[in-house]
Every structure is written in C-alpha cells, then in structure tokens.
Structure 1
C-alpha cells in the first residue's frame, strides 16, 4: 500500500477526483430541501467529500489512573475530529469548492483498540464575487445555510469542544450504595455538570479563535460510566458551526397579525 504524508490527501482520495471531472456527474448528499436552500444562497454542489482517520487507542502504563486515561481518551477524540475535518477540507479545496455543507461525523470501533473518525459532507461552489480564501465548513444543512445568509450571517467553520474527567471518592466509598435507591448520585451529577461545562467552554474558545461572532450548537454527546465502583468517568463533546456577521439582515416583524380579514382577495 502506498504511503503518504500525514497532512496530504491519501492516494484513494486523490483517485476519487477522476469522477469529478467537468464532464462527470456531480454527486451530492444534500436532501431536496437542502439542495434548494443551497441554491437560494448561491451555492452549487460539486461533489461529496470525506475525511477519515483511524486511531489506535491505548495507554502507556497499565497502572495509569482513571483521570489520566480519560484525559488521553479526550485527546484522541479531539485529534480524530480535527484530522477528519482537515482532510475533508483538503478534498473540498482540491475540487475548487468554496465550502462544505451538511457535515456529519461518525465514530466506529472495529475492536477495543481502534476508532475510525469520518467526516462526510457536500462540497459547494459559490456563485458570488466574494468568496472565502479557504473552504468554510458547517454541519448545518443547505436550507439552514440559506436562511442564515439571508439574515446576514455566514458560516465560518465547524467548531468542536471535547472534555473528559474522572472523579473519585477520597475515602474509597462506593459511588452507588447497594441499599439506597431512587436517590441522587452526587458525584455523578457534579461530574456531568463539570464535563459538559468544560466542553462548552472549549467550543466557545474555538469560536473566538476563528474570529467569528457566534456559534450554533448542532450536537452534544455525553457518556458517563463507573470505574471500579469508587470513581466515575465522563466525556462530553460539543460540535457546531462558528458564524460571522457580514451584513445587517432584514428586520424581524415588530408584532403579529392578530386578525385576518376574510374578505381579502
């Protein structure tokens, strides 16, 4: 199997460009409403694009404590999202696209040691004079992008926030009592709140670093599990789109129509 540089496109991805020749079909993952919305916003699909990476998940020492392992897992998640998104963007740029709509992330595990991260979306070309230097990326579908741009906002890039932590009882007491039911697990509640807040904070930092004016959250994933009955671990992931204001959109109605005349033709 031929090798390639880490930041270059895989040979299989380059081979896919043959079907995106000017005379070839233009494939799209957009729904019918999404395709119409993209067209209204001035975008033409040029092909579906994908970015993927397979990571080996493991720990340097068998005695690594739960908190250190969760930190490593969060790092693998963050790197997986970033690498898959970067390779998707490279494919879009190679097609001459100006953006990618409707990006969907999937994570699959073939065994306990590997995880595959896949980013899949539809590359589009702008039919306007003002075009971004680097293809923008968004999880939003075509119809939402059309509404967003009509209101004076433009998608900048996908932002991801990942946080992982583990809490343990200092006295080694069980996380859940075997004799008490239908009661709050305080340690798990505190952890869930802290991890979600940390993931949202990293998501907000990604938006600030991109120079955008705001962000739209598309998905929030959360997983929590016990560790040897005396600790609890959790990982939260927030994904969405950083958006920037490029002009003032149409004003929203000041009120609502309380009566509708029936004699109006």
Structure 2
C-alpha cells in the first residue's frame, strides 16, 4: 500500500469528498482515508514514545508470552468487508426421478464469494499491520454479522506485533493462535505464515428417497444428508490445501470448523425443497525456521522454583 501521509491534505475535505476518495482507495486495494489517518497518527505516537501509543486485546498472559520470545504489540488491527449475496444459488442439478437419487452439486459462485469476502477482510487487516510497522498479527478472530438487512459484514480483528530482532518476514504474517500458542510455536522452531481457510458449499434436492426416510419411524442414516455434508467438507479441505500451497505452508494448525445446513425452495420447478450445506475450515499455515533464527536463549522459560509447603523435620 502507499504511504499513509499521501492524503494528509484531504482532512479538511467535505464528508462526501472523503467518502468518494475512500471508495477509490478501496477499489485500488488500499484502506479508506480515515483508516489511513488513524494508523499514521498511531504510528507517529509510537515513534515519539507517547503513552498509550498502542492498543491490543491481548490478555496479561498473552502479552507476557509474546514478549518472552522477542515480540511486542504495536496495535489492534481490523479488516472488514460488506458483501451482498444476491446470485449464489444456481439450482440443484436435479432433472427428474432417478434410482440413484439426487446428486450433490457444488455451488461454485457461493463458495467463491464467501472465500473472497473473508480473504479481503484478512488482507485489509494485514494492511493495517503493515501501516503500523508490524511484522504480523496474532490472535485473529473471524466473524460474520448481518449488515442492515442488505448483506453480511465479514470481520477480521487481531493484535499486530513486531519482532525485536533483525530478522523480518517478507510480509506481515497472520494467525489465529493465542499469545501462548504463538509462543509455543516459536519455541518449537516454527513460525506462522498466514491465516488459511477452505470453503465448501453444496446442494442436494430433497428427493423422494430423502422424504421417505424422513417419514420413517426407524433409526437410520439419512444417506442423502450424509452425502451432502461430506461433499461440502471435501470441497472445504481441498480449498484449505490449495490455500496452504499458495502461501508455501508446510502444514496447517487447524483452529476451527463451522458447518450449517438449511433449505430453500427448489428453483427447478419442483414442489420439494433443496438442502444446502456450508462448511468453512480455517487455521494457521506454518513453516519451520533455522536454529540460527530461533529466539535468544534468554527468552526461554527458566525452571519453576519449588517450595515444600509441609517441610519434614530433619531427624538426627
């Protein structure tokens, strides 16, 4: 992204002018003007050593943990993207009665939109980290909120940190590891690369076989529903592996899995409904680093002192 001082002269503009210029900045892959001004002011306070120069949502334990491996927080960072999902459902692929039942069909447009929205929020969060002079973001939390009934807001929020040593990553890393887990990872000889995700969205027509099973009193597997959710998870795992390969991660520390299933009226003209499954996997891609780049021995934890609470008397 460009320097944050490029738009300092625009602070006296009318709100409409600022909004128009901010939209142009977003379209160019940068941050809105007010975000750029806020980050520039925060970085200047930090460079002057002013009190309260940084904010974070780290706990005391997390703060102490990351400091013990040579990192310090530089500020809380946020990325957001509001998306409208108007055309994500293209139909179920069901063309009539079949002995094999309805197929499981991937909704490519929905998958691509969900994937793009989260990646955009994370990318803007990383831009804020870069603007503050940070080397990475820890404790990232991802969220999705309804936005005034017109769309969904995708959020990524975390704490930017900076290493005390001379070794700098080529670009800020992102991870959803807590401060303690981040510290354990560094001491084990690994470093985070990027927050990764895989998205799978599949649809299956609620055909005659599924309806018959639903009306039965017997305890049994709902074969169609199993195939639907398995298909979505398979697509999500493939997307996660592709994301890991893109950033060069050796492995992924899987943090969470979100899945949901809902129904929609069939678009193919049938009276029944279609069932849609959404699965999202996310975690942190990590790579090993050389021994010469590991934290200084002084950063390792000393052994805990032990004190006997009930000392036994020495007998002569």
Task: With the length of structure 2 as denominator, give the TM-score of the two structures.
Answer: 0.72
Match of 2:56 in 1: 28
Question: Are 2:65 and 1:65 equivalent residues in the alignment?
Answer: no
Match of 2:13 in 1: none
Q: Describe the superposition over 1:86-120 as per-residue Cα deviations: whole angstroms up to 9, x where unpaired.
A: 10011100111001000001100135540000100
User: For residues 88 and 114 of structure 1, what CA distance do their matches in structure 2 show?
Assistant: 20
User: For residues 67 and 88 of structure 2, what CA distance do their matches in structure 1 show?
Assistant: 50
User: How big is the alpha-carbon RMSD for the aligned residues of Structure 1 and Structure 2?
Assistant: 2.5
Q: Cα distance, 1:37 vs. partner? A: 1.4
Bigger fraction of residues in helix: 2
Matches within 5 A, 1:34-183: 34-59=62-87, 64-66=90-92, 70-168=107-205, 174=211, 177-180=214-217, 182-183=219-220
Secondary structure at 2:211 match in 1? coil
Q: Describe the superposition over 1:51-104 as per-residue Cα deviations: whole angstroms up to 9, x where unpaired.
A: 00101110289xx41478943332221111110011001110011100100000
- Which consecutive aligned stretches of 4+ in structure 1 deviate over 6 angstroms post-superposition? none
Q: Describe the superposition over 1:227-260 as per-residue Cα deviations: whole angstroms up to 9, x where unpaired.
A: 34453210110111000001369xxxxxxxxxxx
Return 5+ residue gaps in structure 1 as ranges: 250-261
Identify the range of structure 1 (191-200 vs 1-10) with the bigger mean alpha-carbon deviation. 1-10
Q: Cα distance, 1:140 vs. partner? A: 0.4
User: For residues 124 and 58 of structure 1, what CA distance do their matches in structure 2 show?
Assistant: 38
Whether the 8 Å contact between 1:172 and 1:230 is mirrored in structure 2 is: no
Higher Cα Rg, which structure: 2
Match of 2:300 in 1: none
Q: Describe the superposition over 1:148-175 as per-residue Cα deviations: whole angstroms up to 9, x where unpaired.
A: 0101000001011111111226668637
User: For residues 167 and 60 of structure 1, what CA distance do their matches in structure 2 show?
Assistant: 15
Return 5+ residue gaps in structure 2 as ranges: 1-15, 94-104, 266-271, 295-310
Match of 1:19 in 2: 42
Match of 1:246 in 2: 289
User: For residues 116 and 181 of structure 1, what CA distance do their matches in structure 2 show?
Assistant: 42
